Amino acid sequence: VELTNAHLDAIERLDGRLNSFITRTPDQARVAAKAADDILAKGEGGALTGIPLGIKDLFCTNGVRTTAASKILGNFVPPYESTVTSNLLRDGAVFLGKLNLDEFAMGSANLNSAFGPVENPWKRNGSDAKLVPGGSSGGSAAAVAAGLVLGATGTDTGGSIRQPAAFTGIAGIKPTYGRCSRFGTIAFASSLDQAGPMARNLQDCAILLESMAGFDERDSTSVNTPVPNYEAALTRGVKGLRVGIPKEYHAPGMPAEIEALWQQGINWLKAAGAEVVEVSLPHTKYGLPTYYIAALAEASSNLARYDGVRFGERVKGDSLDALYEATRAAGFGEEVKRRILIGTHVLSSGYYDAYYLRAQKVRTLIQRDFLNAFEKVDFLLTPTAPSSAFAQDEKPTDPVQMYLNDIFTVPASMAGVPALSVPAGLDAQGVPLGLQLIGKFFDEETLIAAGHVIE
């Protein structure tokens, strides 16, 4: 109760500025905290009993409004709980509310929310400019970094856990596709979407992931493989492991200090006993274009269900088609509309073979790059993002420029392999930078061990 009240007070004091919460649930939180205290008083419970968390507003929560940061779901109260959040509730976690994000998880700066932008709690030295927290899990990242919650759920389709973690100096894990159930998580691109933890360090992420993960018969892509004790992996070290450095990740125009931090990360791992090997992922340059075809195609199909009839807000029209049109015109934001248009285009007859089918073939090549690399090395080390957090008013006007933020995170998503971001240092302006570790299918443990050497 004490822990919950302290965090509720922090939210009260700081979130007017940060805007990391869309919905706060203090009353439910106090009831849950009291129940947790009763369990602890009996000497029962576990690592998560009574721990205050925030939930990205993309996870359905029974009886608590779930918006995906979209106007179209502004009044949607789910009658059921997502599997990931029910797992956390089962383990005694206390939810303080629903966290802001880019609308339907589409974005890299949390500037696309119908509930307003989220501010990064970090500032550049001597500057008052408002920095973005990254996206799409920007509310989760800002709330954790500012100490409003002890951990948060995120989702990652092409980088949405890792890039905001890097921008706010926290840790975040995108598990292997299939590790966490997607049941009850509002879909963006179903073949890529994966839930994961965000917290101040990898130990907290490990505890959260162990609770969130596991087979679920309600998600046909969830994989039936045992969930390891991730926390135990933390102190395994990297002695005798081989770390791969993909040469294609030396992106042109990347700031020298990010290159330098990457080298620093290599040195830390070497000093801890890892062997460093250069590897090649030759299809890296096709990652972004194929992601922005495959993900948008799936999004255009997934978002067809928001028609004003079955879910959320409705704008009346003279006919059924007019109702659909008016509802979707008023309910979706600009970026979501852009993506529905592109996704519909690449799936239309005459374009399907040229874009969608080709992107799927290239996706297989990207996956093979990783499988080949993992015959030689145990995991890979790269920067998480090609820049540190930028200012809200430095937002690129060209959407493609914004998509370039995802250049290092998208390939692992396309391959389905696990990846995490760990805080590794600050840039010259005092703003956090992260390093990314990418691993073999279902080998989150090696990433946690290696990440802990760096954090």
Residues 20, 82, 108, 160: which is the catalytic one? 160
Can residue 246 be called a binding residue for ligand GLN (CB under 6 A)?
A: no
Residue placing its CB nearer to ligand GLN in the complex, 158 or 287: 158
Considering only 87, 157, 176, 387, the residue that binds ligand GLN (CB under 6 A) is 157
Residue placing its CB nearer to ligand GLN in the complex, 97 or 159: 159
Cis preceding linkage at 108, omega within 30: no
Binding residues among 260-299 for ligand GLN as defined by CB under 6 A: 295
- In degrees, rounded to 5, the angle at the alpha carbon of residue 376 between the alpha carbons of residues 373 and 377 is 80
Can residue 406 be called a binding residue for ligand GLN (CB under 6 A)?
A: yes
Q: How far is the CB of 191 from ligand GLN (least distance, A)?
A: 13
Helices (H), 348-441: 358-376, 399-403, 410-415
CA distance 428 to 423: 15
Can residue 156 be called a binding residue for ligand GLN (CB under 6 A)?
A: yes
Pairing between strand 171-174 and 419-426?
A: antiparallel
Can residue 57 be called a binding residue for ligand GLN (CB under 6 A)?
A: no
Can residue 436 be called a binding residue for ligand GLN (CB under 6 A)?
A: no
Q: Does the active-site annotation cover 270? A: no
Tokens of 155: 């989702």
Q: Does the active-site annotation cover 136? A: yes
Q: What is the DSSP letter of 201?
A: S
Q: How far is the CB of 119 from ligand GLN (least distance, A)?
A: 18
* CB count in 10 Å sphere of residue 219: 17
Can residue 408 be called a binding residue for ligand GLN (CB under 6 A)?
A: no
Can residue 343 be called a binding residue for ligand GLN (CB under 6 A)?
A: no
CA distance 453 to 238: 8
Q: With contacts defined by CB under 6 A, how many residues of the chain interact with ligand GLN?
A: 13
Can residue 70 be called a binding residue for ligand GLN (CB under 6 A)?
A: no
Q: What is the DSSP track for 137-196?
A: SHHHHHHHHTTSSSEEEEEESSSTTHHHHHHHT-EEEEPPTTSS--TTBPPSSTTT-EEE
Considering only 50, 78, 117, 159, the residue that binds ligand GLN (CB under 6 A) is 159
| Interacting residues with ligand GLN (CB under 6 A) | 105-108, 136, 156-160, 188, 295, 406
